[in-house]
Structure 1
Amino acid sequence: MYQLRSEEQVRLLEGIRAAYAIPFIDDITSFIWEAIFSYVKDVPIVDPLKNTRSKLLYDVVDQNNHIGWSAKALQKTKSLAAPIEFELVIQRADIFKKAQMLGFDQLSVNSPSSLLGQALTRHWHLKINEDAVTQNINSKRVCVLIKSNNRKEYIYYENDIEIYGHTELTWSWTDSSKTGLQGIRNSDGFVVYRWYPNQKQFFERFQVSSQASVFYLEPRRLPLANVVQFLAHQLDNS
């Protein structure tokens, strides 16, 4: 797991405080987290006002060092005392429709669970690697901002994107109705993947160790009129 440098930790808190200070921003999600993280890493932001947002995996890219991050933000309802676990939707994986493209004759809920697991990991690995080539990335990572429900506690999580080999996972249905398939890591029995065939959503689960840093701050809003007037002045004089 990667750690932020001390100056990056300062920039992270600065970015979070700045975002919540603006009354137009209700929460740190999606592009807002990508913008904050771009500030943390001092890399160019992909501005949706000027660029069409792509569906490529890596939301933030350090072109000089060829590092790409899939940036996610999520809320936990309980206190963020590490260690904790969390899960994210990583992909919409319609492996039934794409069976032949993935190298299988056909797939259905009645296919062996191990075969479905192979198809899912192949589908995900293609996305990881093909987008890395497109975006000129060597180091493929995920960065997650985990927020408490009162927005006063934060955990930053950054790690390499895991690429599991076929023998490292065991796949099984959660029950006889076959509504959910799970991929279990053989080394420790941890469920790392969940997939639901009806919605085609593919989830990955993560563990944050007890060494993870928890950041604290008190979000504070600036008066709306002050923000508008300040920004209007800056725009008029830029």
Structure 2
Amino acid sequence: MLAENEIERLRQAIIATVAVPVIGSIEDYTWEAIFHYVKDIPLSDPALGRSKLLYDAVAPSTASGWSLKSLQLSRFTASTTFWFVIQRADVVKKATQLGFPNLTEQSSPTELGAAIIQHWNEKITTSQSIQGVRNSYESILLKTIQGYEYLYCEFPLNPFDPNDFSWAWTVDRRTGKSGAGLQGSIAGQPQLVWYKNQKQLFRARTIPPEAVLVQVERTRLTSARYVQTILSALQEQISESPPNEPEE
């Protein structure tokens, strides 16, 4: 979880971000940038390219990596469970690569589930190796639509044990038909759902008691003041930068 000084940095960064008139809400790269500030990790320019690896932020000094998500909920309640996409998982297309050469969409739920777990576990282990991560986390910023409350949740992120799961096709409550989503449960509690049409894997998480609540006043800069402030700060930063060495 976050240290006290990091919680304050998170609060300050959220206030500064929601004040920007060209940003509608905190999501995707905006959350990544905030998190890098919170952890005091250098942030690269996204124009230089984005990695498709798992960890959006890595601290080499501690070999820690964080997979970052931002989600909107109607409200924050202790022990609330929420679902979100963790991976595009076209396990049938990659069946041979995953070690399931005879896998099809008509394969048994158990076999499909094993391939799904293998696909996700390979994502974790490959990313850990390439990105130099030993301490693996998933950090999620939950937000309300009003933009006044934010909840920071952090979870260990480790490979799944395939033996922990039981798999079954979900049943549509309206039509009574099954087969749209393959649900993986642990001890009777749904943990994963794979939708074969979209090839997306969803994961369930529950808000932990140690989640950090940040409440802010939502004050927006005018567009004119924002542009003037940024241009002034940019000019100041440029003037403070050391001049380039002349070429010999």
Q: TM-score, normalised by structure 2?
A: 0.90
1:127: how far off?
0.5
Which deviates further from its counterpart, 34-43 or 218-227?
A: 218-227
Kindly provide the CA deviation profile for residues 71-110 of structure 1, in whole angstroms up to 9, marking residues without a partner as x: 1101002x21222111111111111111111111221222
Distance 1:15 1:217 in 2: 11
Quote the Cα distance in structure 2 between the aligned partners of 1:210 and 1:161: 18
Q: How far, CA to CA, are the matches of 2:192 and 2:158 in structure 1?
A: 11
Cα displacement (A) at 1:209: 2.6
RMSD: 1.2
1:105-158 Cα deviation digits (max 9, x unpaired): 221222110111100000000001101111111111110000012111111011
Separation (CA, whole Å) in 2 of partners of 1:230 and 1:214:
29
How far apart are residue 172 of structure 1 and its match? 0.6
- Identify the match of residue 61 of structure 1 among 36, 58, 71: 58
> Which structure has the larger Rg?
2
Give aligned-pair identity as a percent.
39
1:226, distance to aligned residue in structure 2 (A):
1.2
CA distance in 2, matches of 1:47, 1:4: 25
Match of 1:223 in 2: 222
Structure 2: how far apart are the matches of 1:133 and 1:35? 23
User: Structure 2 CA distance, aligned partners of 1:199 and 1:56?
Assistant: 20
Cα distance in 1, alignment partners of residues 105 and 232 from structure 2: 60
Distance in 1 of aligned mates of 2:44 and 2:154:
20
User: SS in structure 1 opposite 2:113?
Assistant: helix
Unpaired segments ≥5 residues, structure 1 = none
2:95 is aligned to 99
Deviation at residue 211 of structure 1 after TM alignment: 3.9
Checking the alignment, whether the CA contact within 8 Å between 1:82 and 1:211 is kept in structure 2 is no
**2:142 match:** 146
Aligned to 1:126: 122
Q: Secondary structure at the match of 2:98?
A: coil
Unmatched segments (≥5 aa) in structure 2: 172-176, 239-248
Contact 2:124–2:158 under 8 Å retained in 1? no
CA shift for structure 1 position 164: 2.1
1:69 CA displacement? 0.7
Counterpart code for 2:193 = R
Letter matched to residue 185 of structure 1? I
Partners of 1:96 and 1:107 within 8 A in 2: yes
Partner SS for 1:219:
coil
What TM-score does the superposition give when structure 1 sets the normalisation length? 0.94
The answer to whether structure 1 residue 173 and structure 2 residue 202 are counterparts is no
